[in-house]
Amino acid sequence: MTETAFKHMRDLPSTHLLGTGTPACAGCGGLQAIHQIYDVLGKNTVFVNAAGCMTLLSVYPFTPFRGSWLYTAMASAPAGAQGIRDALDILIEQKRIDKNEDLQVVVLTGDGSAYGMGLSATSSAMERKLDFIYLCYDNEGYGNTGQQYSDATPHAAKTSTSTGPGGYPGFKKDLFSIWAAHKPAYVATVIGAESLDLARKIQKARDIEGPCMIISLSPCPTGWDFDPSLTAKVGKLAVRTGIWPLKEYENGNITHTRKPAKRLPVEAYLNLQGRFKHLFEPKRDEKMLADIQTQVDAYWAKVAS
């Protein structure tokens, strides 16, 4: 990256602030989280965006950010981040830009890339100790192309490609544990509905050197089939039922940052979403509901032990 190219990227114009006029779906849980994350990180950032829902935020040369933006193929965002980070380090070392002109490099992907197509490149980036923040907005499916199931789709959810009476027969991949196994600088789960927890974790990631990996559960009114006005409620119920544990990995230790004092039954969360409607109508699927509750109970029993 030349000095001229860097300054051009840094100073690209923006038509509006994040969220004003952006073409994301109403009630998007991913955008809800990104709003808050950008408030913490500020304009001295470069977003490396893998193909996905958030690709729609940018129409060259405009983006909804005051910082910078690079678009990549779905599996290539960590490689793009490596190139930018290396270029910035070289420019600073050669004193062609000042240290205060440095940018925070942020990879932005959906779960299709994070859990699947881009996992190999992400693994390599963590092994190289790349200094970046990786943000996955996890809407539990390929939301930009019709909500096909992904490696993040939960058991029994109906998608456009799992339409049988039992919904998706597989199980959501434990990406948090896969990432933590690489021993990066930091791994955390967040959700836009829990703003204070999210802000604290993003501030921590911002100030840590090395790979910082963030998974944000992103309720999707379009793909999950619920009213957009319920996004925050669905997000809070994901936490209160224990389906989405808020936790972080640092220095080899896993800490749960929010433990529900009294967990609500999982059906309080499932019943708001059309993708789980078949568990309640025309007849309650008591066995499947019990199985899902048992899985969640087993997780928290292990945490308590």
CATH number at residue 82: 3.40.50.970
Write out the H or E segment, with its range, that includes residue 138: strand 132-138
CA 178 to CA 121: how far, in whole Å? 13
Sequence-distant (6+) residues with CB within 8 A of 64 are: 14, 15, 16, 17, 18, 19, 20, 21, 22, 57, 58
Task: State how many domains the chain has.
Answer: 1
CA 50 to CA 29: how far, in whole Å? 18
Beta bridge partners of residue 253, listed in sequence order: 250
CA 141 to chain centre: 12
CA 282 to CA 279: how far, in whole Å? 8
Q: What is the per-residue pLDDT for 66? A: 87
Residue 64 belongs to domain spanning: 3-304
Give the angle subtended at the CA of 182 by the CAs of 1 and 212, to the nearest 5°.
50
Per-residue pLDDT of the chain (305 residues; tens, 9 = 90+): 444 443 443 443 333 334 433 457 899 999 999 999 999 999 999 999 999 999 888 887 888 888 899 999 999 999 999 999 999 999 999 999 999 999 999 999 999 999 999 999 999 999 999 999 999 999 999 998 999 999 999 999 999 999 999 999 999 999 999 999 999 999 999 999 999 999 999 999 999 999 999 999 999 999 999 999 999 999 999 999 999 999 999 999 999 999 998 999 999 999 999 999 999 999 999 999 999 999 999 999 999 98
Sequence-distant (6+) residues with CB within 8 A of 276 are: 156, 157, 158, 167, 270
**Per the confidence metrics, is the pTM higher than 0.85?**
yes
Main-chain dihedrals φ then ψ at residue 28, nearest 5 degrees:
-60, 120
SS (H, E, C) 75-88: CCHHHHHHHHHHHH
Q: Which residue's entry shows tokens 């992103």?
A: 218
